[in-house]
Structure 1
Amino acid sequence: MGHLRSRPSWNFQRSFFKRPSSTGSSPRAEWCKTKLTNRALISLTGQNSKSFLQGLITNDTDRILSSPSATFTAFLNPSGRILFDCFVYPVADSQPGFLIDHDAAASGQLSSWLRRYIIKNPIKIIQEPHEIWALWPNHIAESPQQFELDPFSTSLNRSLWRDLRGDGSLGYRTIGNPISHLGLSDVAALPETSISDYATHVLLKACLPQSLSSPYPINLPFETNLDYHRGVDFRKGCYIGQELTARTYHTGVIRKRLVPIILRKADEPHLDLPSKIPISTTFYDEELRLSLEAAELEPNECSSKSNLTNRTKSIGKISGPILRVGNQILGLASLRIDHELFKTINDWPSLTLIKNKNWKVQPIKPNWWPCFSNLP
């Protein structure tokens, strides 16, 4: 495999962390690193790799080649549903090429699916052994700039890519162990967290599971907020699955979207989210996920605004994963954001499981959504 596109290197290093704020607190303690063992890399190289990939993904390969940030995108089937979501990075070599950062569990299926479309193109598809890491800020910032690393240091290494999904606080992704990268020597001092810690951060800040790849039950680009994550380019040419995606975009009819939720038993008090994720207290609750998967939701009885009939009273459903975070339970739900309950400028009302009144669900309003006051 060729090397990632790189900028000139230098003979010295310095901290990639911004200098401590005037309060005297150290920003180093507020950043974490996570080895993403649930991710894998496929390299796609060859003279026609750019045009080949352009016809398969929802984003634009020109953006991938020019952007200093990680480019989020998806492969769709002909009916416009997500097969695989991924990041794509450019590769510098004598021939054009790309690295596809994807769900490791879907690696074999993705490789086979790509090979179906090679036909006579001289394209090489290789599964790469490199590690993928996330560097992320576990703190509340006063400004978006506090979620950024030192721009001088990040320019030294093009194996480091800003993750712009969600509210902009997901941090960075790096290919290979970041400790070995030029300009990233301070990473060794960061606490290494679990996949579930990082998954909690992504769920809260970007309304996303760790992967949208099949068999994740929500597979429409807009319902998974792919457009809000800069994952779709509506000006590029044709690609597989474009027809439904473009039609939905231009008609503006988007009724459902993924949002984070807090679950609690009906007899338990509501707890506010902590300002930081309590590291090492998070874990996936697979048993609870299986018992609540696709459970339909309705407004609380005390919600007088609801005009839903008994036949159509469902306004969403739980769509996993379920994460235990300290003494709280977090998850995702696909909600009918076209309903009047979710057009309020205030916090969203709590919901109830239609078939299990013992559970209450509190949707977390994603205030980072574009044009929130005029949701489609």
Structure 2
Amino acid sequence: MFCIRSKLPRLATNIYLHFRLYSDSVKWKSVHLTNRSLIRIEGAESAGLLQGLVTNDINGLVDKEYPSMYCMFLNSAGRVLFDSIISPGFEPNQFFLEVDQAMSKNVIKHLSMYRVRRKIAIEPVSELKVYSVFHEDLKVRTESNLQTRSSHLGSTFCDGGVRNSVLPPVSNPTSICFPDPRVDLLGYRYIGPDHPESNLNFSLEQGTVLDYNIQRCVVGVTEGSGDIPPTKALPLEYNLDYLHGVNFHKGCYIGQELTARTHHTGIIRKRILPIKFGTEDHNIELDSTIVNESGKNVGKIRKTEGKHGLAMVRLAEAFSSASLKCGEVSVSVWKPVWWPQEKDEKKGSN
């Protein structure tokens, strides 16, 4: 069994001191994501099927360049059908798709429609569970080495869908564990038949889906059909490029045209941002409007969890406003630390 603690002495300078990913005083939480499902795709042509459907480049998984990838599946109009985290399975030519449980039947139907006559098995996985392993005090480097295409806040970012994690890898013959492919602040994804503690040799306490959702809100990451409305959402407005979920250099896939055209304009005027309410005692509903001090609409609520939430925000208007409110409740928004810097922020940029 691979033991994460066995790597600590060698990684102490780079990980513990600078990024504080490990701490004896902080317990990692493991959350069984009962709202997420696994779908197994298996067959010699399975990678080819996925390559024509996903926004990211499946070849990186085939060539073992990275352990997992984040992506979205789009319709022909370039709108999001569903988001997914894809990882290789235990067998050759096998992939696991982690998706919103509420969308799992739609996902299987979508994949089966494009399978045509290829010998590919597509089926739900009931013997394995999906966990998130994280702690709220994760601190990682800001992405100072990453830069958008222009000086405007929210400009598009092109990094080929690949991200280098500072979290060390974990391996075990009966489970799959990898850093969350979107951002290290979300810790690890774990796929296995048992609780992660049986295979990860460090201290864990059990958390709830609510704990995980609050962590996502604080970090600023949407997930699933509840946050990302199917057939309505534009992928780059949901930070797909910032979360390393799209490769602008791969071949054609369904929905590519609008996504590529939006990318080449260089500017996305609306994006998902983390928000915080002035009080936890509120009855704010999905799609409620956020207004500034002049009463101008600057955004809409996409998720709420107590004081925290996610919102689709008009960037220029929101960050130039003196104050924001949703109903009678004050709202604050901020730019996540993991966003790439604007072009003129990076020292030495032209």
Q: TM-score normalized by structure 2? A: 0.78
1:163 to 2:180 alignment? yes
Confirm or deny: 8 A CA contact 1:106 1:213 kept in the other structure: no
Q: TM-score normalized by structure 1? A: 0.73
Superposed CA offset, 1:59-113 (max 9, x none): 001122323343100100111111110101113535x121101111111111111
Deviation at 1:206, TM superposition (A): 3.5
- CA 1:17/1:359 → structure 2, altered by over 3 Å: closer, same or farther? farther
The 2-side partners of 1:252 and 1:243 are apart by: 15
Q: Which has the larger radius of gyration?
A: 1
Deviation at 1:169, TM superposition (A): 1.6
Match runs of 1:293-372 below 5 Å:
293-301=286-294, 313-319=296-302, 321-324=303-306, 329-339=307-317, 341-342=318-319, 349-353=322-326, 356=327, 358-372=328-342
Deviation at 1:314, TM superposition (A): 1.6
5+ long unaligned stretches in structure 2: 143-164, 346-350
1:173 to 2:189 alignment? yes
1:256 to 2:264 alignment? no
The 2-side partners of 1:170 and 1:84 are apart by: 19
Residue of structure 2 in register with 1:306 after alignment: none
Residue of structure 2 in register with 1:200 after alignment: 214
- CA 1:67/1:198 → structure 2, altered by over 3 Å: closer, same or farther? farther
Superposed CA offset, 1:197-234 (max 9, x none): 01111121133245567646961111100110000000
Confirm or deny: 8 A CA contact 1:199 1:209 kept in the other structure: no
Higher relative contact order (CA 8 A, sep 6+): 2
Which residue, out of 96, 110, 114, partners 1:99? Answer: 96
The one-letter amino acid paired with 1:288 is N
1:51 to 2:28 alignment? no
Confirm or deny: 8 A CA contact 2:102 2:225 kept in the other structure: no
Percent of aligned pairs with the same amino acid? 34
The 1-side partners of 2:293 and 2:67 are apart by: 42
The one-letter amino acid paired with 1:315 is V
The 1-side partners of 2:50 and 2:140 are apart by: 39
Deviation at 1:141, TM superposition (A): 2.8
- CA 1:17/1:260 → structure 2, altered by over 3 Å: closer, same or farther? farther
The 1-side partners of 2:95 and 2:140 are apart by: 35
RMSD: 3.0
5+ long unaligned stretches in structure 1: 1-9, 266-281, 302-309
The 2-side partners of 1:247 and 1:156 are apart by: 42
